[in-house]
Structure 1
Amino acid sequence: MVLITGCSSTEDKIDKLLEKTGKPFELLYQEEVENGMIVLYKDESGFRHAYFSNKTKYWNISGNAELNPIDGFTWGMTNDPNIPKLTFA
């Protein structure tokens, strides 16, 4: 019997994201990219984005962007030493 473990399917990746966030969210957009997956989602604190690295099997989650910012514009970013990619949304 051979058992191969990993996080390869989209569903597995989203399940890992839910485990990491620890709270429910609404998935707004997801896209497989060359080395992983990027998602946009909304939780109780605002809009967020996250990047999954296929190499490290790790989610890099942004801070929240406000739902109704005063000036009409908001953004979030990630910068994590586990994934050498800086993302803005």
Structure 2
Amino acid sequence: MWNMYSSDSLAPRFIIFKYIIRWYIEHFGIACYITIFVGVIFIFLIRALVINVKRKEFDRVLMLIIFTSIVIGGLLGVGMDFYNNNIDIP
């Protein structure tokens, strides 16, 4: 079964997300992963960005821009690695 915790740390490894992403790409393809999985998260974050721009909370806008680039970049990178079979899940 899955080893959710490592022996040197009590923090979970969140390996379940890797299995979900790999399953999704294998069954539906990378284009569907980018448009649906990543796109929905991107739209949600852009909506939060627009709300904060309307409220003129520019410190949160900057924080959301940084957070969005990290999350979307990470999801795209992991998805492309799985699509090219560069990541092996232990």
Q: For the superposition of Structure 1 and Structure 2, which TM-score range results when normalised by the shorter chain?
A: under 0.3
Q: Which has the higher contact order (CA 8 A, sep 6+)?
A: 2
With normalisation by structure 1, the TM-score equals 0.23
- From the two aligned structures, give the one with the greater strand fraction: 1
**Which one has a larger percent helix, Structure 1 or Structure 2?**
2
What TM-score, normalized by structure 2, do the two folds share?
Answer: 0.23
Task: Please say which structure displays the higher CA radius of gyration.
Answer: 2
